[in-house]
Structure 1
Amino acid sequence: MLDMDWKITFKTKEASYQLMLISEVEIDESVENLVDTAIITLPEAVMNQVLNFEEKIVRGSEVLIELGYDKNLEKEFVGYVQDIVANDSSLQIVCEDALFLFRVGVKDAEMKPTSSKKIAESIVDQIDKTFKVSCDYDIGFEKFIIHQATGYDVLKKLQEETKANIYFDTDSKVLHIHAPYLEKGGDVVYSMQENIGKSSLDYKRAIDKKVEVTIESIDLKGNVRSYTTGTTGGDKITIKVGAVTESDMKKIAATVLQQNNYDGLDGSIDTWLIPFVKPTYSAHYSDDDYPDKKGIYYVVSTKTTFSNAGGKRVVKFGIKLG
């Protein structure tokens, strides 16, 4: 029987502070979302004494969440306190990853020609130069306008128009911009007979789901350009982008098609804190009852909960890698 362990540390410019009790921790991480979040729930009062830590934990405090068993802790979340919310019977400390730092205004600009990487580097240079940009999916823009926007607004627009995976590695201070399923964080092994509590996985075949993708762009002269790929007559997906180059319209279309049309398992599994896993990991999946479903799948998201009831992690699979 393993003993559950945890350590949650907050840090401000003045000092650090460690929580001594919690009711629950919930961590949501995904390469498909701009922001990873953690919600730490505490009882509002202990022994009829209201908890008061406002001077120790404030908006912007750094937070480190470590979880595990038998004093073997893994770094599960690194970020910042976004808000402290009082409910009827509990307190919630709402945390965000490094995107929290980028919810501030940036200069208006008209960048032309430019690219995803140059735009992201411009935002990082204005907000926090200690961050680096890792980009291997550099979509070209004939023109990109920034007007009365925050760093978050700009990154969100980039994500919407390029369909890239854009996310922060807060611990390493890296802003990642990648084509879906390319960035590899590590490997993890799952077996239905050994370390999976339950599964909601369904096998789907690309041949059964016909998809037609159209990318529409408006060039600098105001002309509408379009590019279509996939299966004619299939489910139609139309993406409107800005003044993107024609070659990169095709790149975006291929990305969207890959996200919506592949052979493999679709869904998620429920497991525990061990084995450790993060989005971008390659999950080696097997089921002795269905050996034909064995494969390697890209982990797109994890949802981790930790409380007196135990530690659980929901792991969502993306495309089949092998």
Structure 2
Amino acid sequence: MLLDIDWNIEFNTNGKRYRLAILDSCEVFSSVDNLADTATIVLPEAIMNEVLNFENKIARGTSVLIQFGYNQELQTEFTGFIRDITVNDSSLKILCEDSLFLFRKSVPNAELKPTTLKSIAQYIIDNVDPSFKLDCTYDISYEKFTINQANGYDVLRKLQEETKANIYFDNEAKVLNIHPPYIEKGGTVFYSMQKNIENSSLEFKNRLDTKVEITVESTDVKGNVKKTTSGTTGGEQITLKVGSVDDKSLQAIADAELLKRSAPRYEGTFDTWLVPMVKPTYSARIKDEDYPDKTAYYYVETVVTSISSTGGVRTITPGIKLS
């Protein structure tokens, strides 16, 4: 069956919709390790010696819709906003970011105590864009959390760094999601080294003999340092420092980091086509007929999707083994 690559990129400015008619390449990057999905649209700077003119049509803050597919069957790959437009090396680049773009606004200084991860995130929403909803399933409690001369992005980044939470936006539903790592599951996809994987640098790491000891330290409101550990005494020692969270939250953060570092997993990436659709949090069943013992479901951590004159490619980074 012959598959012809198709795409649709639209911009919306003040209620006026513009459809892109030319394209050099486009890449969409999505990862559970990043707060935002991003997209880079590359255009030639000029066509037939005539410079492209986007004046009054697109600019920073213009909304963006990106769709890819085959034979006119398109799937939405990205929705968000233009963050910057640059010109270099005879090309024009349109840099886009998902709804995190809207949260790069300052929030009032505050000292929240006691508080929770959920309450902090709701404070950010209430002071940046109350039209967003919050879906938070991560039970982390802080004795005190201070916000000082920060914007919404700064606070969300700190929360992600400290708690190891999976934080991302559902742009179309206008929902800020915050969940424990590896708990939330998206869809299910199937891959075979012999059928629909084009290139692979995957290397299986069993890690059954890997010894890791995670220590998480926190300083309470009185200045006292408390710590908790997870893992095997005598193993590789990793220390994390977080804010003034309670004992239960300390243990949850330590256990999450231990899972990330000690669970069996694939390391590396593999390339496949635009179908099936896959996103971070999906469960990918990866089969290799030459090594049937490695066939299992793996957590999808990162997906990079790109199209150009040579076709469409998804580069997938799987994570820990699920089953």
* TM-score bracket for the superposition, by shorter chain length: over 0.9
1: CA distance, partners of 2:131 / 2:32: 22
Structure 2: which amino acid aligns with 1:238? T
Q: Which residue of 1 aligns with 2:167?
A: 166
Partner of 1:251: 252
Q: Deviations over 1:97-149 (max 9, x none)?
A: 00000001000000000011100011011111111111111210000000000
What displacement does 1:210 show? 1.6
Give the CA deviation at 1:207.
2.6
1:148-159 equivalence runs, <5 A: 148-159=149-160
2:269 aligns to what SS in structure 1? strand
- Give the ranges of 4+ consecutive aligned residues of structure 1 lying more than 3 Å apart after TM superposition: none
Where in structure 2 are the equivalents of 1:1-322 lying within 5 Å?
A: 1-322=2-323
Distance in 1 (alpha carbons) for counterparts of 2:206 and 2:289: 21
Q: Which TM-score applies when normalising by structure 2?
A: 0.98
Opposite residue 3 of structure 1, the aligned amino acid is D
Residue 67 of structure 2 aligns with an amino acid whose one-letter code is E
What letter matches 1:104 in structure 2?
Answer: K
In terms of mean alpha carbon deviation, does 89-98 or 166-175 score higher? 166-175
Q: How far 1:264 moved relative to its partner?
A: 3.1
SS in 2 for 1:232: coil
Q: Which runs of 5+ in 1 are unaligned?
A: none
Using the size of structure 1 for normalisation, the TM-score is 0.98
Q: In the aligned structure 2, how far is the partner of 1:31 from the partner of 1:232?
A: 29
Q: What is the deviation of 1:200?
A: 1.4
SS of the counterpart of 1:252? helix
The aligned length equals 322
Matched AA of 1:225: K
Secondary structure of 2:208 counterpart? helix
AA of the residue aligned to 2:226 = R
1:142-196 residue CA offsets vs partner (Å, 9 max, x unmatched): 0000000000000011011111111111121111111111111111110111100
Residue ranges of structure 2 left out of the alignment (5+ in a row): none
Deviations 1:11-32 (A, max 9, x none): 0124111100010001110111
Q: Give CA-to-partner distance per residue, 1:26-84, whole Å, 9 cap, x none.
A: 11101111111000000000000000112111100000000001000000000000000
Q: Which AA in structure 1 matches 2:124?
A: I
2-structure distance, mates of 1:278, 1:20: 27
